[in-house]
Structure formats: C-alpha cells, structure tokens
Chains A and B, each alone.
Chain A
Amino acid sequence: MASERYSFSLTTFSPSGKLVQIEYALAAVASGAASVGIKAVNGVVLATEKKHKSILYEDHSTYKIEKITDHIGMVYSGMGPDYRLLVRRARKMAQDYLLMYGETIPTSQLVQRVANVMQEYTQSGGVRPFGVSLLIAGWDASVNNGSPILFQCDPSGAYFAWKATAMGKNYVNGKTFLEKRYDDKLELEDAVHTAILTLKEGFEGQMTEDNVEIGICDENGFRRFTPEEVKDYLTNIA
C-alpha cells in the first residue's frame, strides 16, 4: 500500500531559515485541549481537559492519558489520531528495550526514542510532522532511591525536562500561573491540586469527573485516576 513513497521531504527550509511545517504543527498543538504536568518531590501529575462536543459521545470509552510501561505514562495536546500512533510506538520501544537489556526503560531513554520518531517525520519523504506535543511522566527507581521525571516532546523532535508546564489552549496563562504557584518542596497531593487549578483557569463551563483526566506517577508506578477519585479532588477545590 505505501510501497511507493515520495522521495523528497515535505518539510523544507523557507528563505528565512525556518521550517514552516513544524511551526504550523505547533499551531495545531496550541489549538488543542489544555494539558498540564507538574513534578513533585514524590511523584509527577498529568492532567488534561477532555471535553466531548456533544452528550451523544460515550465518556470514558477513549482516554488521553495512557500508560506506556508500569512506571511511565503520557498525555498530549493536539491531534488525537497522531497521538495514538506515538503511544503504540512508545509501548513497543519500551518492550524492545526490556527484551534487549533485561531492564525496564529509563524515562529519559524512552523520551529520546519517541522524540527521534517525531524528528524523523520532519525529515522523511512524503510525511508531515506530528500535530501533537507530549508530556511524558516517569519514575526512575534506580536514581537517588527513586526520582520523578517530567519531559515534553515537541513536533520538531526537541524534548525538554520540566518542573511544571502547560500545553495546548491558553498555555501562556497556564505557565504564568504555574511559575507563581510552583515550589521545589511540593508534595504529590498538592501538585494534583495545583494541576486542577491550572486547568480551571482556562476551563469553559463546569469541571466534572467526566471532562477531566488525571494521572499520577510515583514509586508505585503510573496510574490513571478513576472518575470517583477525580471527583474527590474536584470537590476539595470547590
């Protein structure tokens, strides 16, 4: 089916030295639903807005926050279908690493591999860049008796480690909010609380357990909150 590939890249330099397809991909990300990641002393929290366009949609049939390995999870802002491809690849790469080295993949290694995939799509023939930015949260048990890690991957293939960040709609306000609220001694419970407040800043309408997804990564691994758990946190901020 895809045996005849375009042999030239669609992402080429403009006269000013910019790769405009990547900039446009970032525009697609910035118009996507908001998501937030915060690193605490004892874990990382990922939170995202998940609004369905009508009541006909079945809540909780698809998820934005996905587990990649027992100790790594990720969330995105941007185009959902592109994200699914990256989730699949990330899961396979994690298993390949385990098969090759007999150890679970460190978060930074996974991030490097995923970012490499994203970079390939900016240079290979006949493909467009991914329209997603990823937030990858992990717990590295071998470093310092266990330490939390938060990375962001861009459509360009660049990746950055963050203490706290926001992506998607209203991300500038989100980041400003986090800069004020963040401190190095934050515990995971407070980080979840702060993440919800950050999402609330740009949220249209009422936040409920059906339109917000939260996931945490700590020494027990990565897990997504059930709607009941999300509801508890939401009632606490009210």
Chain B
Amino acid sequence: MSRGSSAGFDHYITIFSPEGRLYQVEYAFKAINSTGTTSVAVKGAETSAVATLRKVPDKLIDASSVTSLYAITDTIGCVMTGMVADAKNQVQRARYEAASFKYKFGYDMPVDVLCRKIADICQVYTQNAEMRPLGCAMILIAYDEDLGPCVYKSDPAGYFCAFKACSVGAKQTEANSFLEKKLKKKSEFSHEETIQTAINCLSTILSADFKPSEIEVAVVSKDQPKFTILNEKEIEEHLTAIAEKD
C-alpha cells in the first residue's frame, strides 16, 4: 500500500489519515486531559465507588455547584472527566436515554445497555464530519441484580468496556499502574476497602493528602443500590481510616 500524503483535512475532521488513524478522535482524548483532573473507579465484591478531584476554578464560585458526579437514574451514577460543557451534554443525553428506555420497555435500563448506547452515540460523532467527537469520558457505576457491582467506561472513540477498576484523566497512566498492582494482590474488596482504594489511588498519584472538600466520592452497593454522593463527614471518616492504616 503506497504511503500517500493526506489531503490535509484529516487533522480537522474525522476522516482517515494515510495510516488509518482518526486524528480528531485522538485529539479529543488529549482534550480530556486538558482539565488536569483525574477520576478513578473501583469495583469490589458488593460495591462500586468513584472518586475524583474537585477543582473549583475561582474562590468566588459557589463550591457546592461545582461537581463531576452526576446521577443518571436512582441506581446508576457517573463521573465525568474532561470538558465541562461536553460532559453536561453527555449526562443529559444519558438521562434522557435511561428515562426513555424505562418509558418504552417498562423496566430500569441496565447499566451495560446504557453504556453501549452512549458509546454508540460517540461512534456516530467519529464517523460524521459535521459533528466533532465530545472531549469527555464517562465512567458509569451501578449495582446490577444480575451482574453485581459494575464499572463501565465509555470514551470519545465510541469504545466501551466493563472494568474491575479504571481511571481517566491527566494522570491515568499512574492511576492505572496503581490499580493494577492493587488488583494483582487482591480482587475482592469489601465495602470500605473499595472506597478507600479509590481515594488512596487519587492521593498516591497526586502525592497529596486531601481535605474532604477537595475530593468527591460516590458509592453504590448491594445494601445501598441508590447512587449516593458521600458528604464531607463521611469522606473525612474514610480519610482518617486510610491515615490510620499507614
């Protein structure tokens, strides 16, 4: 196959480059890292947890209105990483899809079906020139009756998969190495261990101890299938438990 030179537009819209790559999709991944935050999700024996940094860009902003954690349904929640406006668009779409599914079919949309739907929508953006890929990635967590605790990630390429643990964002390589090491030793985490692994991962890769107001944590579990965002007091308890273990 001859190595032709591109027509020049392969960097601007989602058409193929001579090597068969989609540059716009690759650039969308870079946009996710541009915000500088990292999000982590971990699955345990009966619990799934997500943790992310809370970066309030300005002291004058009302901190309670800044969040990356969103409930899609009562039992499915997500953490969004990347460009805020694109993230909000994707969350709204996910909420619509989940509600539409419930209306049409009469039962709650399973998290794997929702993730597939979001990923299919992302794929359309990689194939149609008039819409750019979104600069955000979505990690969904839920407790499913059949699948147990779930962590699903969908990215701008339209790829999705279930994970035992995953991370997205500026420091995802370090976070993934941390999680791989942890999972090699043990894969069935208890409720507390799941949450603390997620928080510990963030603090290790950022080499910092947090105040409870600097991170956001959310949990779903068998006992509490409702997507719950932990308040500062609960985060404080976990941080103390981690500090005591060391």
The 29 listed contacts between A and B (C-beta, < 8 Å) are A2-B124, A4-B130, A5-B130, A10-B9, A10-B13, A20-B7, A21-B16, A23-B1, A24-B19, A27-B16, A28-B20, A29-B20, A31-B19, A55-B184, A56-B163, A56-B180, A57-B161, A58-B162, A61-B112, A80-B158, A80-B159, A81-B120, A81-B123, A84-B116, A84-B158, A85-B127, A126-B130, A128-B15, A131-B16
For this complex, into which size category does the number of interface residues on chain A fall?
A: 35 or more
**Nearest chain A CB to B87 CB, angstrom units:** 17
Which residue of chain B lies nearest to A18 when distances are taken between CB atoms in the complex?
A: B4
| Residues in B lying within 8 Å of A, measured CB to CB | 1, 4, 7, 9, 13-22, 112, 116, 119-120, 122-124, 126-131, 157-166, 176, 179-180, 183-184
**Nearest chain B CB to A147 CB, angstrom units:** 34
Within 8 A of B (CB), among A38-62: 52, 54-58, 61-62
- A172-B20 Cα distance, complex, nearest whole Å: 18
- A117-B237 Cα distance, complex, nearest whole Å: 56
- A56-B9 Cα distance, complex, nearest whole Å: 36
Selected contact of B20 from candidates A31, A84, A126, CB within 8 Å: A31
By a CB distance below 8 angstroms, the chain B residues around A188 are none
By a CB distance below 8 angstroms, the chain B residues around A20 are 4, 7, 18
Q: Are A56 and B129 in touch, CB under 8 angstroms?
A: no
- A81-B119 Cα distance, complex, nearest whole Å: 8
**Nearest chain B CB to A55 CB, angstrom units:** 6
Which residue of chain A lies nearest to B93 when distances are taken between CB atoms in the complex?
A: A1
By a CB distance below 8 angstroms, the chain B residues around A96 are none
Selected contact of A54 from candidates B9, B17, B116, B180, CB within 8 Å: B180
By a CB distance below 8 angstroms, the chain A residues around B163 are 56-58
Selected contact of B16 from candidates A4, A52, A126, A128, CB within 8 Å: A128
Q: Are A10 and B129 in touch, CB under 8 angstroms?
A: yes
By a CB distance below 8 angstroms, the chain A residues around B158 are 80-82, 84
Q: Are B4 and A82 in touch, CB under 8 angstroms?
A: no
By a CB distance below 8 angstroms, the chain A residues around B22 are 128, 131
Q: Are B180 and A24 in touch, CB under 8 angstroms?
A: no
By a CB distance below 8 angstroms, the chain B residues around A121 are 127
By a CB distance below 8 angstroms, the chain B residues around A5 are 128, 130
Q: Do A61 and B162 form a contact, CB below 8 Å, given A81-B126, A121-B127?
A: yes
List the 7 shortest-distance A-B pairs measured between CB atoms, nearest first: A81-B158, A28-B20, A27-B20, A61-B162, A24-B16, A81-B123, A58-B162
- A140-B170 Cα distance, complex, nearest whole Å: 52
Cβ contacts A201-213/B at 8 Å (1 or 0 each): 0000000000000
- A31-B83 Cα distance, complex, nearest whole Å: 30
**Nearest chain A CB to B47 CB, angstrom units:** 16
Q: Do A62 and B161 form a contact, CB below 8 Å, given A30-B20, A56-B183?
A: yes
By a CB distance below 8 angstroms, the chain A residues around B129 are 6, 10, 126-128
**Nearest chain A CB to B33 CB, angstrom units:** 18
**Any B CB within 8 A of the CB of A230:** no
- A20-B7 Cα distance, complex, nearest whole Å: 9
Q: Do A2 and B131 form a contact, CB below 8 Å, given A28-B20, A82-B123, A128-B16?
A: yes
Q: Are B122 and A131 in touch, CB under 8 angstroms?
A: no
**Nearest chain B CB to A118 CB, angstrom units:** 12
- A52-B13 Cα distance, complex, nearest whole Å: 28
Question: Given A23-B4, A61-B162, A126-B128, list of 8 further CB < 8 A pairs?
Answer: A20-B18, A21-B16, A55-B184, A56-B163, A56-B183, A62-B160, A84-B120, A121-B127
Selected contact of A62 from candidates B17, B21, B123, B162, CB within 8 Å: B162
**Any B CB within 8 A of the CB of A25:** yes
Q: Do A2 and B128 form a contact, CB below 8 Å, given A81-B120, A81-B123, A82-B123?
A: yes
**Any B CB within 8 A of the CB of A114:** no
